[in-house]
Structure 1
Amino acid sequence: MSGLMVYLAGPGRANEHEEPHLVAGDASIMAWHDDNELNRDAALDIANSLDRAKQFYGTDVDGGHVFHCSLSLRAEEGKLTDQQWGDIANDYMSAMGFTEDSGKAPCRWAAVRHGVSKNGNDHIHIIASMVRDDGTKWNAWKSKYKSQQISRELERKYGLNELGDLRAERGFTPAEQEKARRQGKPEVERHTVARTIRACAVASVDEAEFVRRARQEGLLVRPRFAAGRNDVVTGYSAAVRPGRGERAIWYGGNSLGRDLALPKLREGWTSTPENATEAVNEWIAASRNKRVVAPGRETATPSAELWQKYSDELSELNKSLASVPVDDHATWAQVARETSGAFAAWSNSVEAAPGALAATADRLSKTAQLRRYPVRPQRTVGPSAMGAAKILLTATSRNQGAAQALMLVQLANLAKSIHDMHKAAGDVRAAQQINTVVRERLATVAGALNQKQPANVQRAAVDAETAAALALAGRDHGAPRTGGSVLPPKIEPARKPTLATPNTDRGIDR
């Protein structure tokens, strides 16, 4: 308790704490402390008061007796007043059962405000004892779920941005963020793994191909077998191949994304007894770090004609979305998943570090993750983005420039349709995020591809269908460029580890 209070009242890890002070607390705390700026002595005095019941009764709580949480706003929401934060803190603690409103003895608690975070988020910290004033314990059962539900109610009550209960992306821990910063990586490892898995899943027609593609893209993968079985795979985990002397960090499929759990992935693949046997063999080979068992489509080099074919499929998919209702969440999630997978595949092929394509893939993946999916599996009917994902995994900066430009147009069209769905559904924030990532990030990719094409090819690429997507990207292929260019000079293929696999005539596109 004392260590946490001293930290909250101190300068912070990056000297980001400014004027730490209380905005709320239980009656005993607030009787002795006002909203003056806290120093170390005041922090220790508050910690001692918070700890008093535990020290007096000697009550032990499994896992520790200190309750700590942060209530935070998005940076774009601005700031609240101390009075507003105090009201929110009192409502929160009452609903969580820490106060007399629970019908039990109260717990001692305090709410500290010390300025915005490094990312500009206005927030408060709540610290409390899980031992009540009569020595009994506060009940922590399902407290995280309860806290989330209370937060949604407080958002509505105080007119704050509501997170909603339709979609939910997977987060990451402060430790993961700190590790990425320490290693100089542009993003947390979990995001890298999730994007690669999504790309490989969307590009594959069956489970065995998915395993092979994941390994081909540099990931370690291993299966989780059913209890007592070695022929029934119920889940998986994946990791970035570690460097010398490092340890692999494994992530379960469901922890990477709600749409990346193995049962969800299987809904989009062909499933036969032969496929299942082949998949088990590939899983076993992967877990033992052995060669792939039966190389397939992932070893083939797609023909030039396939670029046009898969671009046409994207166009047909986009046209079909005109008849999909806004509240058909499962279909829109599936389309967002496939489109995100296509962007992710392209990013994996041509971006040495996460760039515009990766950012677009990450944003669209949020639409793909529903809190609750339909009981019956949703399978793709008609055109899809799966072919595009497959061919984009083979893309480089040195071939098919015109074809890649057309593919970008069609994918931008799909992103615009998803944007329009969010807008029609009243999800303004999601629509704005997609609009921003397409206009500000994809425009750089469009410009780089446009820069590679002869003028006659640039003009030929524009027709009535593609004009809207190019406008969304903030660039017209036929328009002259003005001012200094902010575009990257080229899109370089990413360096990926090679996986030794024998040549085979099974690598035929089918």
Structure 2
Amino acid sequence: MPNITRGERMGGLLAYLQGPGRANEHTEPHLVAGDPAVMAWHDDAVLGRSTALAIAAELDHPRRLFGVEVAGGSVWHCSLSLRAEEGQLSDEKWAAIAHDLVDGMGFSDDTRYVAGPDGHGELVGRAGCRWVAVRHGVSTNGNDHVHIAVSLVREDGTKASVWNDRPRAQRVAGELERKHGLEVLESRAAGRGSRGVKPAEVATAARRGDVEAARPALARMVRGCATAAADEAEFVRRLRRGGLLVRPRYVAGRDDVVAGYSVALRLPANTVGQRPVWYGGGHLDRDLTLPRLRQGWPDTPTGAGDAVAEWNAGRRGARPVRPGRETVEPAPELWQQYGREVAALRERLRLVPVTDRATWAHVAHETAGAFAAWSVRVEPVPGPLAATADALARSAQLRAFETRTSDTGGAPVAAASSSVKGAALLLASIAHGGQGTVAQAVLLRQLANVAKAIHDVHQAAGEARRAGEIAAAVRTQLRLVEGSLPALVAAGHMQAGAGERAEHEAVRLARTGQVPVETAPVRAAGSPVPRSLRPGRVEHGTAARTTGDDVER
């Protein structure tokens, strides 16, 4: 897994790699590979500060000799890591991998002598960059890794190209996995990779006292708001109602056509000397760009006009132009309606082929959004609902061109938009009272059935790791949530009458399909349960009520 950064100070980078690290994880730092000019003078002895700075000076020598300035920084740094479960490689294996990466990125010396017809010849090709690969102890998460530092000024004073270097590094990494017998990263092979959290983002969150970095928190909030919204205007209002700052990006030369957006967490009122950090939709995740989100909303001239009005109001910090569904409590009967629709969706998905990536990604996006909406409303800190939402969201990450194809004519996509989006609307209302915990348990089971369908598709496609992540989320994370809700069998103890028949029907539907969630699981000891998820009396319009004793039975 390559992570690339750029900078100006080679000495600063080597001093950091030689030093103790952020959590004293740098043990026995040493060179495992490098270009001939460096390795002729240095071996694999443990680096000291003076040696590290001397190596940095040698790497930087061509840049200083020719007086070359490189826009964006002349230091190219790539940390190349394995999953913790893969264990550790030898220095010799890492050296071979480092050489192959440098070759694949075009930083190596490939000059050669070509003789002419008159007997004279010339050198052709590119001079090499100076580089080293430094290895030390595993990361705080247990990942074995190596750091590759490259000077982007070649031996002849020319600049190395770093255009499109991140996608190129991902492609080269995939080739290295196969060549060296390493585990092939499924998300890269399937094109489902999502953006990771950078160390600087983690440090910022720790400095502010946040339990989570801003990027994943914002992605979850945006995904939940988008899924619960019936149109773009409602999406903007839900973002603002959730406490986010919004900023539209207009088409060049226009102020009435929105092409994109960015969001930021609102800073506390007593914050001094800090500014909000803005993230565009595409920087949150591939499925959160405005064009992708618009695929789930109706496209009408009136809707477009309403959306622009709400975007403009959000940019100015003015009140919403026309408040809508986000301000009212959904009708109680909608819980059973959307429960039935989600159950019907699960049956329709049986007809969708595994190869229809666009439809399955859309279903994963909507289902992740439903869990995200629920998490945002009831989890003070990211919990099992957030973990489930994040696991499913990784199945929604497709390249832009893949989202334009569907083997099924779009019918299951439309079904997902109507049923799962309806479920998200209800789950987003729980903090305002909700319908009651029995209805939540039924809807949870139906959404878990859809998650199981997504799991089965990954398994059929040979993406075992992706399938395993979803299975773990459903079995482990959702077990905690279901343990805080009344078991579905408790509906059999409710009072007789129309309400009882309706609840029995809901329970029957909830049992449709096979889902890896036990009927009445036990919550892990010490796991906090949000107040709005704790079992108790069903309120707000249910025809039947249960007591605490009923729930225990």
Determine if the TM-score, normalized by the shorter chain, exceeds 0.5. yes
Rounded to whole Å, the distance in 2 between the matches of 1:423 and 1:410 is 20
- Give CA deviations for 1:408-451 in whole Å, capped at 9, x if unaligned: 10011111111111111111111111111111111110000127
Residue matched to 2:298: 270
Q: 2:386 aligns to what SS in structure 1?
A: helix
Query: Among 224, 227, 238, which residue is 2:252 paired with?
Result: 227
For residues 447-466 of structure 1, what are the structure 2 equivalents within 5 Å? 447-450=483-486, 454=490, 456=492, 463=508, 466=511
Residue matched to 1:238: 263
Rounded to whole Å, the distance in 2 between the matches of 1:54 and 1:24 is 21
Residue matched to 1:39: 48
Residue matched to 1:123: 145
Q: Give the Å deviation of 1:485.
A: 4.3
The amino acid of 1:446's aligned partner reads: E
For residues 322-337 of structure 1, what are the structure 2 equivalents within 5 Å? 322-337=350-365
Q: Give the Å deviation of 1:334.
A: 0.5
Query: Among 180, 200, 203, which residue is 2:225 paired with?
Result: 200
Task: Please say if residues 258 and 369 of structure 1, whose CA atoms lie closer than 8 Å, have aligned partners that are also in contact.
Answer: yes
The amino acid of 2:277's aligned partner reads: I
Q: Give the Å deviation of 1:489.
A: 4.6
Q: 1:131 aligns to what SS in structure 2?
A: coil
Q: 2:333 matched to 1:290? A: no
The amino acid of 2:328's aligned partner reads: A
Q: Give the Å deviation of 1:469.
A: 5.5
Query: Among 72, 76, 79, which residue is 1:63 paired with?
Result: 72
Q: Flag the 1:273–1:137 CA change in 2: closer, same or farther, 3 A.
A: closer
Rounded to whole Å, the distance in 2 between the matches of 1:402 and 1:188 is 34
Q: Give the Å deviation of 1:260.
A: 1.2
Q: 2:162 matched to 1:140? A: yes
Q: Flag the 1:57–1:230 CA change in 2: closer, same or farther, 3 A.
A: closer
Q: Flag as ranges the 4+ runs of structure 1 deviating above 4 A.
A: 376-379, 451-455, 457-465, 467-470, 483-487
Residue matched to 1:432: 468
Rounded to whole Å, the distance in 2 between the matches of 1:77 and 1:462 is 43
Q: 2:521 matched to 1:488? A: no
Task: Please say if residues 412 and 469 of structure 1, whose CA atoms lie closer than 8 Å, have aligned partners that are also in contact.
Answer: no
Query: Among 381, 386, 391, which residue is 2:414 paired with?
Result: 381
Rounded to whole Å, the distance in 2 between the matches of 1:132 and 1:446 is 60
Q: Flag the 1:312–1:143 CA change in 2: closer, same or farther, 3 A.
A: same
For residues 383-402 of structure 1, what are the structure 2 equivalents within 5 Å? 384-396=419-431, 399-402=435-438
Q: Give the Å deviation of 1:143.
A: 2.4
Residue matched to 2:91: 82
Task: Please say if residues 21 and 35 of structure 1, whose CA atoms lie closer than 8 Å, have aligned partners that are also in contact.
Answer: yes
Residue matched to 2:385: 357
Q: 2:108 matched to 1:99? A: yes
Rounded to whole Å, the distance in 2 between the matches of 1:141 and 1:187 is 32
Q: Flag the 1:312–1:487 CA change in 2: closer, same or farther, 3 A.
A: farther
Q: 2:218 matched to 1:182? A: no
Rounded to whole Å, the distance in 2 between the matches of 1:367 and 1:361 is 10
Query: Among 51, 72, 80, which residue is 2:60 paired with?
Result: 51
Q: Give the Å deviation of 1:452.
A: 11
Residue matched to 1:502: none
Q: Give the Å deviation of 1:144.
A: 2.5
The amino acid of 2:469's aligned partner reads: Q
For residues 292-331 of structure 1, what are the structure 2 equivalents within 5 Å? 292-331=320-359
Residue matched to 2:372: 344
- Give CA deviations for 1:186-245 in whole Å, capped at 9, x if unaligned: 211111111111111111121111111111222121212222222111111112222123
Task: Please say if residues 430 and 532 of structure 2, whose CA atoms lie closer than 8 Å, have aligned partners that are also in contact.
Answer: no
Task: Please say if residues 378 and 530 of structure 2, whose CA atoms lie closer than 8 Å, have aligned partners that are also in contact.
Answer: no
Q: 2:125 matched to 1:112? A: no
The amino acid of 2:39's aligned partner reads: M
Q: 2:153 aligns to what SS in structure 1?
A: strand
Q: 1:304 aligns to what SS in structure 2?
A: coil
Could you say what the CA RMSD is over the residues aligned between the two structures, in angstroms? 2.5
Task: Please say if residues 444 and 486 of structure 1, whose CA atoms lie closer than 8 Å, have aligned partners that are also in contact.
Answer: no
Q: Which has the higher contact order (CA 8 A, sep 6+)?
A: 1
Q: Flag the 1:490–1:274 CA change in 2: closer, same or farther, 3 A.
A: closer
Task: Please say if residues 67 and 130 of structure 1, whose CA atoms lie closer than 8 Å, have aligned partners that are also in contact.
Answer: yes
Task: Please say if residues 72 and 123 of structure 1, whose CA atoms lie closer than 8 Å, have aligned partners that are also in contact.
Answer: yes
TM-score, scaled to structure 1? 0.90
Residue matched to 1:504: none
Rounded to whole Å, the distance in 2 between the matches of 1:104 and 1:489 is 61
Q: 2:247 matched to 1:247? A: no
Identity %: 51
The amino acid of 1:191's aligned partner reads: P
Q: Give the Å deviation of 1:344.
A: 0.7
Listed as ranges, the gaps of 5+ residues in structure 2 are 1-9, 112-124, 495-502, 534-553
Q: 2:414 aligns to what SS in structure 1?
A: coil
Task: Please say if residues 53 and 131 of structure 1, whose CA atoms lie closer than 8 Å, have aligned partners that are also in contact.
Answer: yes
Q: Give the Å deviation of 1:278.
A: 1.4
Residue matched to 1:170: 195
Larger mean CA deviation between 59-68 and 18-27 belongs to 59-68
Q: Give the Å deviation of 1:146.
A: 2.1
Rounded to whole Å, the distance in 2 between the matches of 1:489 and 1:130 is 52
Q: 1:302 aligns to what SS in structure 2?
A: coil
Residue matched to 2:285: 257
Q: Flag the 1:449–1:391 CA change in 2: closer, same or farther, 3 A.
A: same
Task: Please say if residues 446 and 510 of structure 2, whose CA atoms lie closer than 8 Å, have aligned partners that are also in contact.
Answer: no
The amino acid of 1:164's aligned partner reads: A
- Give CA deviations for 1:256-291 in whole Å, capped at 9, x if unaligned: 121111111111111221111111111111111111
Q: Give the Å deviation of 1:134.
A: 2.2
Rounded to whole Å, the distance in 1 between the matches of 2:236 and 2:71 is 41
The amino acid of 1:207's aligned partner reads: E
Rounded to whole Å, the distance in 1 between the matches of 2:324 and 2:172 is 50
Q: 2:195 aligns to what SS in structure 1?
A: coil
Equivalent pairs, count:
489
The amino acid of 2:83's aligned partner reads: R
Q: Flag the 1:375–1:469 CA change in 2: closer, same or farther, 3 A.
A: closer
Task: Please say if residues 402 and 453 of structure 1, whose CA atoms lie closer than 8 Å, have aligned partners that are also in contact.
Answer: no
Q: Flag the 1:278–1:490 CA change in 2: closer, same or farther, 3 A.
A: closer
The amino acid of 2:194's aligned partner reads: E
